[in-house]
Chains A and B, each alone.
Chain A
Amino acid sequence: MKAVGIILAGGGSDRMKGLTDIRAVAAMPVAGAYRAVDFALSNMANSRINTVAVITQYSSRSLNEHLNAPSWWGFGRKQGGLYLLNPTITPESTNWFRGTADALIQNLDFIKERHEPYVVIASGDGVYKLDFDDVMAKHVESGAQITVVCREKEDTDSERFGVIEVDGENRITAWHEKEEGAAGQYINCGIYMIRRLRLIRLLEECKRRGEYDFVRDVLVKNLEAERIKAYVMDGYWKNIASAQSYFECNMDMLNPALRKCFFYDYPRISTKVDDFPPAKFNDNATVRNSLVAGGTILNGTVENSVLFKKVYVGDGSHVRNCVLLNDVYVGDGVTLENCIVEKKVKIEDGTCVIGDPNNVTVLS
């Protein structure tokens, strides 16, 4: 593949109800066994992008730990590799990354040292499957200078995403960043393709002007100067931005077609594998419409839920519409509904928490 990948994974979110206190959004566990960043990373690896940099900043320990063995995604070879770019103090700068463009600007030397003609930039919080070969083919065919991966707008999207208007040739003519009721057919998925030398030039201009944000300062300001085109992806795409969207994304994985797409159809989404024994169902376990990861031991009733690794559910407990992260211990006689339970949390015997399905409760 003629592109180098850059994954922007440096952010937390204040709408995650504390779930990102201990990890970046890109490190959020998804679908019982994966992390959000696995999707962008696997898509790149599956498109034979050999060199990928993950830019981290916010609460990066968990993410670094997840990425410590690049071979799970097929990196760590003589050709290419997986690079973790953390904020660093240099003689020039003692700043943190002040925005997405600034994060790239502070790593310009990494970008300059590549030999691949293109760069794919993707955020680490998207859950989707995308063939970057196809994005590149369309990029070249359409004569775009920058390609922005988009999808059709849904009703509630305007305030959460960048809304994009295009002309008859899919050239982006207007961009409304998180404006309620904005016009436009598409929303921005936060995935971009651009020639590497052009990216370097645009970033250097930003640097001169003291600008930090990729969408605002590189894309929106250049809608006229550059041919920026939309690539419309179909299929599932969700970004993890709030506790509610995170919850919904996990619940979506109860859909068999989606699991087939992500986890069984080649090429698959990969993740770091842990050595846990298979899930164990004891005599009184009742488990319906739920995902159950390795190392889990179940005694009670579990319905419409996603259970991550090494979860324990005690006797006579009822877990419904819940997401239980790694190492959660649910004692006996517990009732949990519409909850996300943070990893390693112990729920004492007899606890009852019933959340609102439209505004889930986070137990941490």
Chain B
Amino acid sequence: MVKKEMIAMLLAGGQGSRLGVLTQRVAKPAVAFGGKYCIIDFPLSNCVNSDVDTVGVLTQYQPLQLNTHIGIGIPWDLDKQVGGVTILPPYEKSGDSEWYTGTANAIYQNLNFMDSYNPDYVLILSGDHIYKMDYGEMLERHKKSGAEATIAVMPVDWEEAHRYGILVTDDQGKVTEFEEKPANPKSNLASMGIYIFNYQTLRNALTELEHVPGCDFGMHVIPYLFRETGKVYAYEFNGYWKDVGTLTTYWETNMEMTDLVPEFNLYEEFWQIYTSAESHAPAYMGADAQVSHSIIGDGSEIEGKVKRSVLGSNVRVGAGAKVIDSILMNGAVVEEGAVVRKAIVADGARIGKNARLGEGAFEPSRLDAKVYNSDLVVIGAGSVIPEGVTIGKNTAISGITEAEDYPDGALPSGGYILKKEGKR
């Protein structure tokens, strides 16, 4: 009988709506990061580096790009005879069929997948964090403590603690209390959304809670196990871990990669991050290129100026163009003379000649002030910005826009243009 000690279930079905137009056509885990990677590459690489060779990836929102990226798992050595990576979309059942209504509900709907590997432990991961972590070490601690469930936590600044789910523990790491976004936190250990469960315990809990609407790990399963077993432990992680769930944190975390010695160093051999890369060619800097404090992906060709920016693969920056404090994802094109300041330009978007992005002063967003609340210009995948237009700060554009979409040749700060079609 097939037997895996621990399998991983990676929750990758969320929209990540706080990334605005970046996730209009792709799920958050498939959003590019660091000039080469997708966000999901980090948990997937952590799995193989931790000897977890069986991973179920739960997809729901806009899965095409994610499915294409993962394929049969070759870049992560997850194309296995037994195990490997399996994409798990929601599926129709005889009787009640439903979408994945919550994190735990999604796992519950895939009990048959997990059963087929007969695991002792299940690792629950989410596809929206940037970090390197040895899940094997966490498993050791889980076993040693005699826990039914172990939650990875990290110490956060006390001033920030009120933004997180906080765990209060005793000196053995045993959880004694939960506080969800507490006004006066008793601890600064924040949950990272990474769990290890004894499989049978999890199975029983999910079955017990099957009728809970929107069944969620943090809200339902963990409190249930805490109540029923009392054996929920925290595993303290002290490495680099970043949630890239908002435009600002996404931008900042990318920008940290350009530091002289980044806190999160991808240039060391140990604990490699793998990805499905399309381009093999080296990057080319033209005769008049000026590139500094930046990372530039393979196959990119730069003729203009790039400063404090992260560029993905096959990006083109034309002569006389300037890209400053920006993220350009794979295949983005900045034509001659365009100026791109503090912008996030998603895959394949094209910025027309002499267009100017990030001009003027901050204005509150007229689209969604919760999502767009910084100076950032955000351009969705496959968008087209026509020649010569001026785009203000805190703006969002998605789709193929034309000159007539810009009254007086400008989109003022806080504005947005959302069009249906993007270019392919």
Contact = CB atoms under 8 A, between A and B. Distances in A.
A302 B292 CA distance: 12
Interface stretch (A127-135, A198-206, A282-290, A339-347): A282-290
A271 B299 CA distance: 13
Interface in B217-267: 258, 260, 266-267
Interface string A134-166: 000000000000000000000000000000000
B282 A33 contact: yes
B292 A282 contact: yes
B137 interface: no
Given A282-B292, A282-B293, A292-B296, A277 B267 contact: yes
A290 B284 contact: yes
Contacts of A292: 282-285, 296
A264 B316 CA distance: 12
A279 interface: yes
Given A291-B284, A294-B298, A297-B267, A281 B291 contact: yes
A293 B282 CA distance: 4
Contacts of B279: 263
Contacts of A288: 285-289
Interface centre among B266, B284, B285, B294 (most CB of A within 10 A): B285
Interface centre among B34, B282, B299 (most CB of A within 10 A): B282
A259 B284 contact: yes
B284 A256 contact: yes
Contacts of B280: 33-34, 263, 268-271, 273
Contacts of A290: 284-285
A268 B272 CA distance: 27
Interface string A243-286: 00000000000101001000110001111010101111111111
Interface residues of A, number: 39
Interface string B307-321: 000011110000000
B282 A31 contact: yes
Given A31-B281, A32-B282, A295 B267 contact: yes
B277 A273 contact: yes
B293 A278 contact: no
A113 B258 CA distance: 55
Nearest to B302: A287
Given A273-B277, A277-B36, A278-B36, A291 B295 contact: no
Contacts of A277: 34-36, 266-267, 273, 295
A270 B280 CA distance: 7
Contact of A280 (B258, B290, B313): B258
Interface centre among B287, B292, B312 (most CB of A within 10 A): B292
Contact of A256 (B35, B283, B301): B301
B414 interface: no
A351 interface: no
Nearest to B290: A286
A364 interface: no
B74 interface: yes
Contact of A281 (B75, B272, B293): B293
A71 interface: yes
B79 to A, nearest CB: 10
Contacts of B306: 281
A287 B35 contact: no
Contacts of B267: 277, 280, 295, 297
A140 B34 CA distance: 51
A351 B217 CA distance: 60
A278 B34 contact: yes
B276 to A, nearest CB: 9
A307 interface: yes
Contacts of B298: 33, 278, 293-294
B135 interface: no
A289 B287 CA distance: 4
Contacts of B285: 287-290, 292
Contacts of B380: none
Nearest to B282: A32
A282 B260 contact: yes
Contacts of B287: 288-289
B274 interface: yes
A279 B283 contact: yes
A146 B166 CA distance: 77
Nearest to B265: A277
B281 A264 contact: yes
B29 interface: no
Contacts of B288: 288
Nearest to A307: B282
Contacts of B60: none
B297 interface: yes
B275 interface: yes
A13 to B, nearest CB: 24
Interface in A95-153: none
Contacts of B281: 31-33, 259, 263-264
A39 to B, nearest CB: 13
Given A256-B284, A281-B294, A286-B292, 13 more contacts: A31-B281, A33-B282, A254-B284, A269-B280, A277-B35, A277-B295, A278-B311, A279-B283, A286-B290, A287-B289, A289-B287, A291-B283, A306-B282
| In the complex, the 8 A-B pairs of residues with the closest C-beta atoms, listed nearest first | A32-B282, A278-B35, A277-B266, A263-B281, A293-B282, A287-B285, A291-B282, A278-B297
18 contacts: A31-B282, A33-B298, A256-B301, A264-B314, A269-B280, A273-B280, A277-B273, A278-B311, A278-B312, A281-B291, A281-B296, A285-B292, A287-B285, A291-B282, A292-B284, A294-B36, A294-B298, A297-B267
Interface of A: 31-34, 71, 254, 256, 259, 263-264, 268-271, 273, 275, 277-295, 297, 306-308
